[in-house]
């Protein structure tokens, strides 16, 4: 390598690419100065960030520990084995021989591998309707899951806005699915995994639970576990589990070979070894005693926020929450979810617009917003902060067309955020504009 090339290769990011460096710095400030309340987002530790940015990003490692298609994988095997062992320990259930595959790049790929392990093209699957809180990969027509398989759906009741397990059973008996899928992206109540397994067994189906949203709550004992009920459990690792953006598959030992083949070579090639290393770190963090307290606080904060919003006159779907998130019906007060998302963003509060069950409005202009507490809880906020945040949300929505009011709230939000700093290594902002 020439001296000139070597010099360029060794430059810090701020010099090598100031535009990207500035974008990263501005995003760091955005996360620090505002309130991240998207239910599927969280903040990782500095240790997880360090592992994710490590030299393992340079390594190809197709295959599995001890059975690689590339040389030089001895330390890759170390971190993957650590991740697998810690995942099994984290979600262990007495009497269950659990297998873990830590290679999926995302929750969607974890789901794809789970389906591939037990389904053939055209088989019937039964999942929660996207419009009622489900996920794209649970059978939506625009997803691979709705294209490769025959999708059927269960819903929530119109009166309670909760899953009707009797209806789920009736649909399963009628449709004879090969797989029943549990889990959601916008459902705020406890899942009855035992009942779902009974239904699956009755119709000869496999039960797959996508616990992406609640994995951290499960790990911390704040939500019942699907392990021991479902033959396959999938999850992301970056939501309540507080790890890097990635996926994970857990399964009964008898399905281990099929799941591993479905992940590689079935769904993807080489794993992202730096992210596998970061997952190992996150799983170790989740095994510590204080993680259980964190999981309980997420739920306590969610319940406090829900109650405070209801006290302010806002309708919460299903009447409340048992987990980390809630859907707020803002259209009941004449506000579209897209309008609410925009107004709250101007006030320094990040949420996402979301359909509510039986929504009469279109997906991009829905009737609700989805609000979650994992990231705020990571910063150390508790019930008293949730009460104040509920007041800000209400004021911002009522004043959604008044930029002066929204700016004032944003300043108050920033003052609170400064009391709960994010990363100790945060530098002063760079001056390059983006």
**pLDDT tens readout for residues 360-407:** 999 999 999 999 999 999 999 999 999 999 999 999 999 999 999 999
Task: Name which of 378, 202, 174, 140 is nearest 282 in CA terms.
Answer: 378
pLDDT score of 424 more than 70 = no
Query: pLDDT-based confidence at 10, cuts 50/70/90?
Result: confident
pLDDT digits (tens, 9 = 90+) for 234-272: 999 999 999 999 999 999 999 999 999 999 999 999 999
Q: In angstroms, rounded to a whole number, what is the distance separating the alpha carbons of residues 295 and 309?
A: 21
DSSP codes of every residue in 354-407: E--TT--S-TTS-SEEEEE-HHHHHTT--HHHHHHHHHHHHHHHHTTT-HHHHH
End-to-end CA separation in angstroms for the chain: 32
| pLDDT of 429 above 60 | no
SS3 content of the chain, % helix, strand, coil (to 5): 50, 15, 40
pLDDT of residue 433: 45
Min mean pLDDT across 192-196, 372-376, 392-396, 424-428 is at 424-428
Residues with Cβ < 8 Å from 398, sequence gap 6 or more? none
Stronger pLDDT, 277 or 424, i.e. the higher one: 277
Sign, Cα dihedral of 400, 401, 402, 406: positive
- pLDDT on residue 5: 59
Reported confidence tier of residue 423, pLDDT bands at 50, 70, 90: confident
Neighbour-count burial of 224, counting CB atoms closer than 10 A to its CB (0-12 exposed, 13-18 middle, 19+ buried): middle
What is the token pair recorded at 282? 């996150």
Q: How far apart are CA 301 and CA 323, in angstroms?
A: 9
pLDDT band, very low/low/confident/very high, at 430 (cuts 50, 70, 90): very low
pLDDT at position 415 over 80: yes
- Torsion, Cα 369 358 158 371, to 10 degrees, reads -10
CATH number of this structure's domain 290-418 = 3.90.1150.10
Is-same-fold flag (55-286; 290-418)? no
- For residue 98, the surrounding DSSP H or E stretch is strand 98-101
- The pLDDT tens digits for 83-111 are 999 999 999 999 999 999 999 999 999 99
Q: How far is CA 354 from CA 164, 316, 317, in A?
A: 21, 13, 12
Average pLDDT, the chain: 95
Higher pLDDT, 414 or 429: 414
**pLDDT value at position 411?**
98
Predicted local confidence at residue 422, as pLDDT: 87
On whether the CB atoms of residues 79 and 277 are closer than 8 A, the answer is yes
CA 185 to chain centroid, in Å, comes to 8
Task: For the beta carbon of residue 46, count every other beta carbon within 10 angstroms.
Answer: 12
Q: Copy the structure tokens of residue 258.
A: 């099929």
Contact 166, 202 (CB under 8 A): no
Helices 383-398, 289-311: crossing angle, 10 deg rounding = 40
Joined together, the tokens standing for residue 386 give 């949730």
What is the distance of C-alpha 82 from the center of its chain?
Answer: 22
∠ CA(73), CA(78), CA(82), 5° rounding? 145
DSSP 8-state symbol, 430: P
Say which residue the tokens 């040389």 belong to: 71
Asked if 162 and 171 touch (Cβ cutoff 8 Å), the reply is no
* pLDDT reading at 171 higher than 50: yes
Give pLDDT, residue 431.
46
Residue 6 has pLDDT above 80, yes or no: no
Neighbours of 302 (CB within 10 A): 27
Rg (CA), the chain: 22
Distance, CA of 297 to CA of 104 (rounded, Å): 29
pLDDT for 427 beyond 60: no
pLDDT in tens, 296-353: 999 999 999 999 999 999 999 999 999 999 999 999 999 999 999 999 999 999 999 9
pLDDT, average across residues 205-228: 98
Q: Just list the catalytic residues.
A: 60, 62, 210, 236, 239, 245
| Pairing assessment for the beta strands 35-36 and 349-350 based on DSSP bridges | parallel
d(CA 389, CA 415): 12
Specify the pTM: 0.95
What are the extents of the domains in the chain? 55-286, 290-418
Contact between 413 and 34 under an 8 Å Cβ cutoff? The reply is yes
- The correct answer on CATH 3.40.640.10 for the domain covering 55-286 is yes
- In this prediction, residue 4 carries a pLDDT of 59
Report the pLDDT averaged over residues 192-211: 98
């Amino acid at each position: 390598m020439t001296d000139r090339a070597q010099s360029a290769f060794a430059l810090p990011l701020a010099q090598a690419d100031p535009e990207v460096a500035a974008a990263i710095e501005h995003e760091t400030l955005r996360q620090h100065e505002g309130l991240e309340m998207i239910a599927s987002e969280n903040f990782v530790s500095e240790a997880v960030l360090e592992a994710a940015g490590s030299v393992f990003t340079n390594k190809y490692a197709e295959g599995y520990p001890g059975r690689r298609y590339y040389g030089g994988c001895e330390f890759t095997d170390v971190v993957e084995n650590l991740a697998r062992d810690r995942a099994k320990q984290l979600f262990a259930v007495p009497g269950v021989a659990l297998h873990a595959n830590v290679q999926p790049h995302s929750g969607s790929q974890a789901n794809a591998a789970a389906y591939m392990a037990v389904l053939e093209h055209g088989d019937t699957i039964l999942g929660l309707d996207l419009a009622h809180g489900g996920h794209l990969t649970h059978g939506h027509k625009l997803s691979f899951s709705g294209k490769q398989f025959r999708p059927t759906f269960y819903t929530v009741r119109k009166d309670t806005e909760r899953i009707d397990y009797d209806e789920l059973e009736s649909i399963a008996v009628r449709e004879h699915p090969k797989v029943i899928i549990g889990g959601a992206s916008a459902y705020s109540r406890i899942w009855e995994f035992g009942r779902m397994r009974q239904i699956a067994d009755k119709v000869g189906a496999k039960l797959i639970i996508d616990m992406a949203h609640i994995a951290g709550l499960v790990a911390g004992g704040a939500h019942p576990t699907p392990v021991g009920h479902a033959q396959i459990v999938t999850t992301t690792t970056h939501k309540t589990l507080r790890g890097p953006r990635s996926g994970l598959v857990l399964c009964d030992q008898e399905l281990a070979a099929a799941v591993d083949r479905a992940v590689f070579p079935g769904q993807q090639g080489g794993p992202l070894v730096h992210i596998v290393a970061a997952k190992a770190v996150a799983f170790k963090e989740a095994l510590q005693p204080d993680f259980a307290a964190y999981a309980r606080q997420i739920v306590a904060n969610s319940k406090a926020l829900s109650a405070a919003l209801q006290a302010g006159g806002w309708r919460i779907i299903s009447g409340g929450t048992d987990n980390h998130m809630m859907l707020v019906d803002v259209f009941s007060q004449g506000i579209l979810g897209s309008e609410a998302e925009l107004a709250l963003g101007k006030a320094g509060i990040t949420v996402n617009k979301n359909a509510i069950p039986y929504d009469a409005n279109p997906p991009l202009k829905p009737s609700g917003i989805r609000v979650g507490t994992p990231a705020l809880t990571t910063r150390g906020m508790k019930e008293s902060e949730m009460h104040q945040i509920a007041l800000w949300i209400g004021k911002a929505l009522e004043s959604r067309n008044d930029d002066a009011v929204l700016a004032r709230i944003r300043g108050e939000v920033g003052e609170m955020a400064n009391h709960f700093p994010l990363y100790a290594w945060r530098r002063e902002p760079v001056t390059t504009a983006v």
